[in-house]
Chain A
């Protein structure tokens, strides 16, 4: 997986609670059998004024000028500032794939849905949970200051604002380690093949009906 160590990135605010994964990437784009190419359809229904289809040339579609990511000041944003329960609903990993493909490396919100949380880490996207009041303050600062950037240091678990304020955040130690090193989960787990096989034979002895090839 992609490494994440430190990022100084432009922030874009998405002021909406309960953003579900259907909204992040609508179902018609899930028909792809690839992992890449979802960026042009990130937030498709919010970003464009027409209905999107797979395989379309996105550059000729009418943009919704009111949508935050279409505003010139947020072009090139790498940090998404969001509201509570971000990423709820469907388990589609196409949601983090789309965020990543678009260029986001970090999402900051008061809370995230569980499956989305896992999926994002697997794709090297750092999700940071901060309390509502801090998120609200970051929204205000982002909106008030064009070119607002945050410096995010995973090793130190800190966010530094342009004024020099340092905000600490929590990070799960295992995920942090994987992100910093860019580790492949499957490779790591397969190092424990012996333990898995031992478990499997005990499990098979105790509940043979769980194994159809017995």
Chain B
């Protein structure tokens, strides 16, 4: 019998019942909640007179609507000026209270973007199933946890039954071997993967990211990669357990107690794909060939090397693709053949569940240190992923580096990743962003988003246009964090 993939193992370990038609009931260990996709689920429970099946499996925090300026933030929920946003956050608070669910509220230091908070607390553990009403739940797969985004009806289903009706996915392995060049990061790996397989390339698959380049990454880097699996169409991204995983979790508040630790580690060490496991699809990349990436269009697959030019729709594979490219160029205000490094920017956003962890901020700070944000940049903001990331960054003096360089240092939340709060792009404004989606209007009505790594975003802020971060003469200091 062929061996099992990591995904196969996780699936089997959580199978409650399976039906002949291929659908199954899988047990959910951790359910994360935020204010946007939960109110209708709680309402549904209430209407049906149901209660959460297991309260300790749930953990909630508001993130999408929270303001990031200190002045507003210090007023707590009352500081959320938009009434509709405030009601949504208050509704989460009220629901968590009435259903007895643990919540890190707006000014709790543990509050933050739900996908930063879970791992940081050790609430995401290897071998778990993790769900959240949010497509970037794939992030948690970096811990060899079977994690995916669900819709609001499923949020209600998980609350009520601790289970999810699911269908087994196919297995894909993305193997990245070799060493990344200096200045090239996890974000560039995942953008290169999406560029290769396309935004629907992973549909129906669980992607396991493997290879020596993955093993060399920190947990933060692995989370960045799994986070964007959904941008390749895959609901699930996974990385096998190794020492890096285990060391990251040691001592975290929700991690196993000292007593349970040895047994947990033993179990976690099994969470790797067997050598003879079968993958339905394998994609290989050479780490040494990956350059810093920049998206040019309105889909994450519209991505090129920073040294490249804006592609020409005339060279597209088929008509539907060509039309999509033409529309994207028009929306983005770009022309085929333009050099990426000639694109002038208006704003820079460093943050989001893709790139707002401590290592991301360190990478950006290394570039910003001793330099100044260019005059044409109206706003360059750094939004840490959680209150704890913020505190750690401040302890390391990163906030000062950013502020001295002309960046704004903000309070934690989703912020301009999707602009549900006050942080947004104006029509036609162009932004270098470390977030994960460059869809039309994502960062604000008519706004133009280019996705990049934190180091590339910081360099773009300094130069006022895209540059290859490797061109800085101190580039050797840019990759590895202390």
What is the interface of chain A, defined by CB distance below 8 A to chain B?
Answer: 16-18, 20, 22-23, 26-28, 30-35, 45, 51, 54-55, 83-85, 88-93, 96, 111, 113-115, 118-119, 122-123, 172-175, 185-186, 189-190, 192-193, 195-196, 199-200, 203, 206-213
Contact = CB atoms under 8 A, between A and B. Distances in A.
A84 B200 contact: yes
A203 B27 CA distance: 9
Contact of B320 (A83, A96, A196): A83
Contacts of A45: 440-441, 445
Interface in B400-436: 418-420, 427
Given A31-B65, A207-B127, A186 B48 contact: yes
B37 A85 contact: no
B228 to A, nearest CB: 12
Contacts of B67: none
Contacts of B25: 189, 192, 195-196
B17 A92 contact: no
17 contacts: A20-B437, A30-B37, A31-B85, A51-B445, A91-B37, A91-B149, A93-B40, A115-B149, A119-B154, A186-B48, A196-B25, A200-B54, A207-B127, A207-B264, A208-B260, A209-B257, A212-B254
B203 A113 contact: yes
Contact of B161 (A123, A172, A189): A189
Interface in B144-161: 148-154, 156-157, 160-161
B127 to A, nearest CB: 7
Given A33-B40, A192-B25, A200-B27, 11 more contacts: A51-B445, A91-B150, A92-B151, A113-B203, A119-B152, A122-B151, A172-B21, A174-B165, A190-B161, A193-B161, A196-B27
Contacts of A35: 40, 43, 152
Contacts of B200: 18, 84-85, 88, 111, 113
Given A54-B84, A207-B127, A28 B442 contact: no
A167 B153 CA distance: 31
Interface of B: 16-17, 19, 21-23, 25, 27, 29, 36-37, 39-40, 43, 48, 50, 53-56, 64-65, 82, 84-85, 87-88, 91, 125, 127-128, 133-135, 148-154, 156-157, 160-163, 165, 167, 199-200, 203-204, 230, 233, 235, 254-257, 260, 263-264, 267, 299, 320-321, 323-324, 327, 418-420, 427, 437, 439-442, 445-446
A199 to B, nearest CB: 5
A91 B134 contact: yes
B165 A189 contact: yes
Given A16-B324, A115-B149, A207-B267, A186 B256 contact: no
B16 A93 contact: no
B21 A174 contact: yes
A196 B163 contact: yes
B43 A33 contact: yes
Contacts of B37: 30, 91-93
Contacts of B128: 210
Given A31-B85, A85-B203, A89-B135, A189 B441 contact: no
A196 B161 contact: yes
